[in-house]
Amino acid sequence: IRLATENERSLRQLSGHAGCFKETQIVEFIFLLSEKWHLDQPARYQAVELLERFMIRQVEEMHESSKENVEQGRGSSSWSSLKHQIYDTFVLRLVSCVQLASKLSLHYNIVNSDRAVRFLQSLKYSYTKQDLLESELAVLKTLQFQINVPTPLAYVELLLEVLGHNGCLLPAQPLHQMCTQLLDFSYLTRDTIYDTLLKIAIENATPSKLQVAKFLIVKEDFMLLAVGIISTSVFVLNPGHWKEVWSLLN
Protein backbone atom coordinates (compact mmCIF):
# COMPACT_ATOMS: atom_id res chain seq x y z
CA ILE A 1 0.00 0.00 0.00
CA ARG A 2 2.85 2.39 0.88
CA LEU A 3 4.55 1.85 -2.49
CA ALA A 4 1.28 2.24 -4.39
CA THR A 5 0.60 5.51 -2.55
CA GLU A 6 4.14 6.71 -3.23
CA ASN A 7 3.73 5.88 -6.93
CA GLU A 8 0.46 7.82 -7.14
CA ARG A 9 2.01 10.81 -5.35
CA SER A 10 4.98 10.83 -7.75
CA LEU A 11 2.67 10.74 -10.77
CA ARG A 12 0.59 13.64 -9.41
CA GLN A 13 3.76 15.73 -8.96
CA LEU A 14 5.30 14.66 -12.27
CA SER A 15 7.57 17.21 -13.94
CA GLY A 16 7.12 17.89 -17.62
CA HIS A 17 10.85 17.17 -17.96
CA ALA A 18 10.58 13.66 -16.51
CA GLY A 19 12.72 11.17 -18.41
CA CYS A 20 15.00 13.79 -19.98
CA PHE A 21 18.01 12.44 -18.08
CA LYS A 22 17.32 8.75 -18.69
CA GLU A 23 18.79 8.67 -22.17
CA THR A 24 20.47 5.39 -23.13
CA GLN A 25 24.02 6.79 -22.94
CA ILE A 26 23.47 8.15 -19.42
CA VAL A 27 21.89 4.93 -18.14
CA GLU A 28 24.61 2.82 -19.76
CA PHE A 29 27.31 5.00 -18.17
CA ILE A 30 25.76 4.51 -14.72
CA PHE A 31 25.28 0.77 -15.21
CA LEU A 32 28.87 0.28 -16.38
CA LEU A 33 30.25 2.41 -13.55
CA SER A 34 28.17 0.46 -11.02
CA GLU A 35 29.54 -2.76 -12.49
CA LYS A 36 33.10 -1.43 -12.32
CA TRP A 37 32.61 -0.61 -8.65
CA HIS A 38 30.86 -3.94 -7.93
CA LEU A 39 27.64 -2.34 -6.72
CA ASP A 40 24.47 -4.38 -6.36
CA GLN A 41 21.42 -3.95 -8.58
CA PRO A 42 19.36 -1.72 -6.26
CA ALA A 43 22.25 0.78 -6.25
CA ARG A 44 22.40 1.10 -10.04
CA TYR A 45 18.67 1.86 -10.34
CA GLN A 46 18.82 4.22 -7.37
CA ALA A 47 21.70 6.10 -9.03
CA VAL A 48 19.73 6.56 -12.26
CA GLU A 49 16.68 7.84 -10.39
CA LEU A 50 18.76 10.12 -8.14
CA LEU A 51 20.49 11.72 -11.11
CA GLU A 52 17.19 12.17 -12.93
CA ARG A 53 15.48 13.82 -9.95
CA PHE A 54 18.49 16.02 -9.15
CA MET A 55 19.07 17.21 -12.72
CA ILE A 56 15.40 18.07 -13.28
CA ARG A 57 15.23 19.99 -10.00
CA GLN A 58 18.52 21.80 -10.74
CA VAL A 59 17.51 22.76 -14.28
CA GLU A 60 14.10 24.02 -13.14
CA GLU A 61 15.59 26.04 -10.28
CA MET A 62 18.30 27.57 -12.47
CA HIS A 63 15.83 28.42 -15.22
CA GLU A 64 13.44 30.02 -12.74
CA SER A 65 16.25 32.02 -11.14
CA SER A 66 17.49 33.21 -14.54
CA LYS A 67 13.97 34.26 -15.54
CA GLU A 68 13.42 36.19 -12.30
CA ASN A 69 16.71 38.04 -12.69
CA VAL A 70 15.82 39.09 -16.23
CA GLU A 71 12.35 40.26 -15.14
CA GLN A 72 13.81 42.29 -12.27
CA GLY A 73 16.51 43.81 -14.48
CA ARG A 74 19.39 42.45 -12.43
CA GLY A 75 22.66 41.50 -14.09
CA SER A 76 22.70 37.75 -14.32
CA SER A 77 24.17 34.80 -16.08
CA SER A 78 22.21 34.08 -19.22
CA TRP A 79 20.29 30.81 -19.52
CA SER A 80 22.84 29.76 -22.12
CA SER A 81 25.75 30.14 -19.68
CA LEU A 82 23.78 28.27 -16.99
CA LYS A 83 23.30 25.39 -19.43
CA HIS A 84 27.06 25.32 -19.96
CA GLN A 85 27.54 25.19 -16.19
CA ILE A 86 25.19 22.21 -15.95
CA TYR A 87 26.98 20.48 -18.82
CA ASP A 88 30.44 21.08 -17.32
CA THR A 89 29.55 19.50 -13.97
CA PHE A 90 27.36 16.67 -15.30
CA VAL A 91 29.87 13.81 -14.91
CA LEU A 92 30.76 15.01 -11.41
CA ARG A 93 27.08 15.01 -10.43
CA LEU A 94 26.62 11.57 -11.97
CA VAL A 95 29.50 10.16 -9.91
CA SER A 96 28.05 11.80 -6.78
CA CYS A 97 24.70 10.11 -7.42
CA VAL A 98 26.41 6.72 -7.79
CA GLN A 99 28.29 7.40 -4.53
CA LEU A 100 25.07 8.27 -2.71
CA ALA A 101 23.31 5.22 -4.13
CA SER A 102 26.15 3.00 -2.89
CA LYS A 103 25.63 4.37 0.62
CA LEU A 104 21.89 3.72 0.49
CA SER A 105 22.40 0.13 -0.59
CA LEU A 106 22.73 -2.66 1.95
CA HIS A 107 25.75 -3.84 -0.03
CA TYR A 108 29.11 -3.68 1.73
CA ASN A 109 30.86 -1.94 -1.17
CA ILE A 110 30.43 1.80 -0.52
CA VAL A 111 32.20 4.04 -3.04
CA ASN A 112 34.58 6.29 -1.10
CA SER A 113 36.08 9.59 -2.25
CA ASP A 114 39.46 8.07 -3.12
CA ARG A 115 37.93 5.65 -5.59
CA ALA A 116 35.67 8.31 -7.09
CA VAL A 117 38.54 10.80 -7.51
CA ARG A 118 40.72 8.17 -9.20
CA PHE A 119 37.92 7.41 -11.64
CA LEU A 120 37.37 11.08 -12.48
CA GLN A 121 41.11 11.61 -12.93
CA SER A 122 41.21 8.66 -15.33
CA LEU A 123 38.74 10.67 -17.46
CA LYS A 124 41.13 13.66 -17.33
CA TYR A 125 39.09 15.66 -14.82
CA SER A 126 40.99 17.48 -12.08
CA TYR A 127 38.38 17.25 -9.32
CA THR A 128 39.51 16.92 -5.70
CA LYS A 129 37.97 15.20 -2.68
CA GLN A 130 36.62 18.59 -1.62
CA ASP A 131 34.91 18.99 -5.00
CA LEU A 132 33.30 15.58 -4.54
CA LEU A 133 32.12 16.44 -1.05
CA GLU A 134 30.61 19.71 -2.23
CA SER A 135 28.97 17.96 -5.18
CA GLU A 136 27.44 15.31 -2.94
CA LEU A 137 26.13 18.04 -0.64
CA ALA A 138 24.69 19.93 -3.63
CA VAL A 139 22.73 16.83 -4.67
CA LEU A 140 21.47 16.28 -1.11
CA LYS A 141 20.41 19.91 -0.65
CA THR A 142 18.73 20.14 -4.05
CA LEU A 143 16.71 17.01 -3.26
CA GLN A 144 16.09 18.28 0.30
CA PHE A 145 17.86 15.16 1.61
CA GLN A 146 15.01 12.98 0.29
CA ILE A 147 17.13 10.49 -1.59
CA ASN A 148 15.91 7.07 -0.49
CA VAL A 149 12.91 6.75 -2.80
CA PRO A 150 11.48 3.54 -4.32
CA THR A 151 12.87 2.43 -7.68
CA PRO A 152 11.12 0.17 -10.21
CA LEU A 153 13.11 -2.76 -8.76
CA ALA A 154 11.41 -2.22 -5.38
CA TYR A 155 8.01 -2.48 -7.09
CA VAL A 156 9.06 -5.63 -8.95
CA GLU A 157 10.28 -7.31 -5.77
CA LEU A 158 7.16 -6.31 -3.85
CA LEU A 159 4.86 -7.77 -6.52
CA LEU A 160 6.95 -10.97 -6.70
CA GLU A 161 6.49 -11.32 -2.94
CA VAL A 162 2.74 -10.79 -3.30
CA LEU A 163 2.61 -13.45 -6.03
CA GLY A 164 4.40 -15.90 -3.74
CA HIS A 165 1.94 -15.24 -0.89
CA ASN A 166 -0.96 -15.77 -3.29
CA GLY A 167 0.19 -19.23 -4.28
CA CYS A 168 2.24 -18.64 -7.43
CA LEU A 169 4.41 -21.76 -7.71
CA LEU A 170 6.99 -20.49 -10.19
CA PRO A 171 10.61 -20.82 -8.93
CA ALA A 172 11.49 -17.48 -7.32
CA GLN A 173 15.18 -17.20 -8.23
CA PRO A 174 14.93 -17.69 -12.03
CA LEU A 175 11.92 -15.36 -12.14
CA HIS A 176 13.72 -12.65 -10.17
CA GLN A 177 16.79 -12.97 -12.39
CA MET A 178 14.73 -12.67 -15.56
CA CYS A 179 12.91 -9.65 -14.13
CA THR A 180 16.17 -7.81 -13.39
CA GLN A 181 17.51 -8.60 -16.86
CA LEU A 182 14.34 -7.24 -18.47
CA LEU A 183 14.39 -4.22 -16.17
CA ASP A 184 17.95 -3.47 -17.30
CA PHE A 185 16.80 -3.83 -20.90
CA SER A 186 13.82 -1.53 -20.35
CA TYR A 187 16.09 1.16 -18.87
CA LEU A 188 18.56 0.90 -21.76
CA THR A 189 15.89 0.96 -24.48
CA ARG A 190 13.35 3.11 -22.66
CA ASP A 191 12.55 5.59 -25.42
CA THR A 192 12.26 2.93 -28.12
CA ILE A 193 9.89 0.80 -26.01
CA TYR A 194 7.58 3.63 -24.98
CA ASP A 195 7.61 5.34 -28.38
CA THR A 196 6.47 2.05 -29.92
CA LEU A 197 3.78 1.59 -27.25
CA LEU A 198 2.44 5.09 -27.85
CA LYS A 199 2.23 4.58 -31.61
CA ILE A 200 0.41 1.27 -31.10
CA ALA A 201 -1.98 2.83 -28.56
CA ILE A 202 -2.98 5.74 -30.81
CA GLU A 203 -2.69 3.71 -34.04
CA ASN A 204 -0.60 6.46 -35.58
CA ALA A 205 3.10 6.54 -36.44
CA THR A 206 3.37 10.30 -35.83
CA PRO A 207 1.95 11.23 -32.41
CA SER A 208 1.27 14.90 -31.70
CA LYS A 209 3.11 16.86 -29.00
CA LEU A 210 -0.03 16.73 -26.85
CA GLN A 211 -0.25 12.93 -27.17
CA VAL A 212 3.43 12.60 -26.24
CA ALA A 213 2.91 14.87 -23.22
CA LYS A 214 -0.14 12.93 -22.03
CA PHE A 215 1.72 9.63 -22.43
CA LEU A 216 4.46 10.79 -20.04
CA ILE A 217 2.44 9.56 -17.06
CA VAL A 218 2.56 6.04 -18.54
CA LYS A 219 6.35 6.21 -19.03
CA GLU A 220 6.87 7.24 -15.40
CA ASP A 221 4.48 4.77 -13.75
CA PHE A 222 6.78 2.43 -11.79
CA MET A 223 3.96 0.11 -10.71
CA LEU A 224 2.82 -0.33 -14.30
CA LEU A 225 6.42 -0.99 -15.37
CA ALA A 226 6.82 -3.62 -12.63
CA VAL A 227 3.64 -5.42 -13.74
CA GLY A 228 4.88 -5.40 -17.34
CA ILE A 229 8.32 -6.70 -16.36
CA ILE A 230 6.92 -9.57 -14.28
CA SER A 231 4.27 -10.65 -16.78
CA THR A 232 6.82 -10.60 -19.62
CA SER A 233 9.30 -12.59 -17.52
CA VAL A 234 6.68 -15.24 -16.77
CA PHE A 235 5.73 -15.43 -20.44
CA VAL A 236 9.38 -16.00 -21.39
CA LEU A 237 10.10 -18.57 -18.67
CA ASN A 238 6.80 -20.42 -18.48
CA PRO A 239 4.07 -19.34 -20.92
CA GLY A 240 1.64 -21.86 -19.41
CA HIS A 241 1.49 -19.85 -16.17
CA TRP A 242 1.12 -16.47 -17.84
CA LYS A 243 -2.67 -16.15 -17.61
CA GLU A 244 -2.65 -17.21 -13.96
CA VAL A 245 0.02 -14.66 -13.04
CA TRP A 246 -1.64 -11.95 -15.10
CA SER A 247 -4.93 -12.46 -13.24
CA LEU A 248 -3.12 -12.33 -9.88
CA LEU A 249 -1.36 -9.10 -10.86
CA ASN A 250 -4.66 -7.57 -11.93
If asked whether residues 53 and 103 sit together in one domain, one would say yes
With cut-offs at 50, 70 and 90, classify the pLDDT of residue 184. Answer: very high
By the 10 Å C-beta count (0-12 exposed, 13-18 middle, 19+ buried), 5 is classed as: exposed
64: containing domain? 15-142
pLDDT per residue as tens digits for the range 58-68: 998 887 877 76
Q: Is residue 129 predicted with pLDDT exceeding 80? A: yes
- Ramachandran angles phi, psi of 109, nearest 5°: -90, 75
When pLDDT is cut at 50, 70 and 90, the band that residue 205 belongs to is very high
What are the pLDDT digits (tens) for 25-57? 999 999 999 999 999 999 999 999 999 999 999
Q: Total structural domains in the chain?
A: 2
pLDDT reading at 77 higher than 90: no
**How many angstroms separate the CA atoms of 198 and 219, rounded?**
10
Is 6 part of any domain?
no
Helix (H, G, I), strand (E, B) or coil at 151: coil
In a domain, 5, yes or no: no
Residue 139 has a CB neighbour count (10 Å cut-off) of 23
pTM: 0.90
Claim to verify: residue 118 and residue 227 sit in the same structural domain:
no
Establish if 147 belongs to a structural domain: no
pLDDT digits (tens, 9 = 90+) for 84-95: 788 889 999 999
Same domain, 50 and 117: yes
Asked if 138 contacts 127 with a C-beta cutoff of 8 angstroms, the reply is no
Task: List the single range of 33-37, 56-60, 147-151, 240-244 with lowest mean pLDDT.
Answer: 240-244
Contact 175, 160 (CB under 8 A): yes
Distance CA(112)–CA(123), nearest Å, equals: 17
CATH code, domain with 96? 1.10.472.10
Rounded average pLDDT over 177-202: 96
> Is the confidence at residue 212, as pLDDT, over 90?
yes
Q: What local confidence, expressed as pLDDT, does residue 142 receive?
A: 96
Which of 17-21, 178-182, 246-250 has maximum average pLDDT? 178-182
Please give the pLDDT value at position 33.
Answer: 98
Do 51 and 157 sit in the same domain of this protein? no
Residue 19, pLDDT score: 93
Residue-averaged pLDDT of the chain: 90
**Residue 28 in domain:** yes
218 plus 132 within the same structural domain:
no
Q: How far is CA 235 from CA 186, 203, 246, in A?
A: 16, 25, 10
Pair 206, 228 in one domain: yes
Residue at which a domain ends, from 110, 142, 174? 142
| pLDDT given at position 108 | 67
CA distances from 38 to 31, 59, 124, 235 (A): 10, 31, 22, 30
